[in-house]
């Protein structure tokens, strides 16, 4: 999946998602970045809506996106990512993130969430 992302093969990634995927679903959890409107933390439901996340990332300039580690089990996988991303307004986000994937019995991704420095994400998303 990460290799597909690095080569820009978004249709491949979407094909691995369940039709009813929960993207950035933090229901019942106090996610400050989501409350502050950080665009890449926007909750989306369904594969057809998850494409909005990748369309947004297409407007960003990636200086670095390195997969440092991938860990997992039968129903979950987690990727440790080092990234350096420049937003269209000039803000820059340099961080390490964890990406949590949950899978159904068919091996499709049913849930995805970013774990990142939310204060940093809020600050850079508000910078003009």
The secondary structure of the chain as a DSSP string is -HHHHHTT-HHHHHHTEEEEEEES--TTS--HHHHTT-GGG--EESHHHHHHHHHHHTTSEEEEEEEEEEEE-SSEEEEEEEEEEE-TTS-EEEEEEEEEEEE-TTS-EEEEEEE--HHHHHHHHH--
Domain spans of the chain? 2-126
Question: Token pair of 53, please?
Answer: 């996340």
Q: What is the pLDDT of residues 34-87, one digit of tens each?
A: 999 999 999 999 999 999 999 999 999 999 999 999 999 999 999 999 999 999
| 72-105 pLDDT tens trace | 999 999 999 999 999 998 889 999 999 999 999 9
- Position 119 confidence tier, pLDDT thresholds 50, 70, 90: very high
Pick the CATH number of 2-126 from 3.30.43.10, 3.40.50.970, 3.10.129.10, 3.10.450.50: 3.10.450.50
Do 92 and 128 form a contact (C-beta atoms < 8 A)? no
């Amino acid at each position: 999946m990460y290799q597909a992302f690095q080569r820009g093969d978004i249709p491949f990634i979407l094909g691995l998602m369940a039709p009813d995927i929960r993207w950035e679903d933090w229901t019942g959890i106090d996610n400050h970045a989501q409350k502050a409107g950080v665009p890449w933390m926007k909750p989306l439901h369904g594969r057809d809506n998850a494409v909005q996340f990748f369309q947004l990332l297409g407007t960003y300039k990636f200086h670095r996106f390195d997969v440092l580690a991938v860990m997992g089990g039968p129903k979950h996988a987690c990727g440790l990512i080092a990234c350096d991303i420049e937003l269209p307004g000039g803000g820059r986000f340099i961080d390490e993130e964890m990406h949590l994937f949950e899978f159904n019995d068919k091996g499709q991704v049913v849930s995805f969430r970013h774990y990142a420095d939310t204060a940093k994400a809020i600050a850079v998303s508000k910078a003009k």
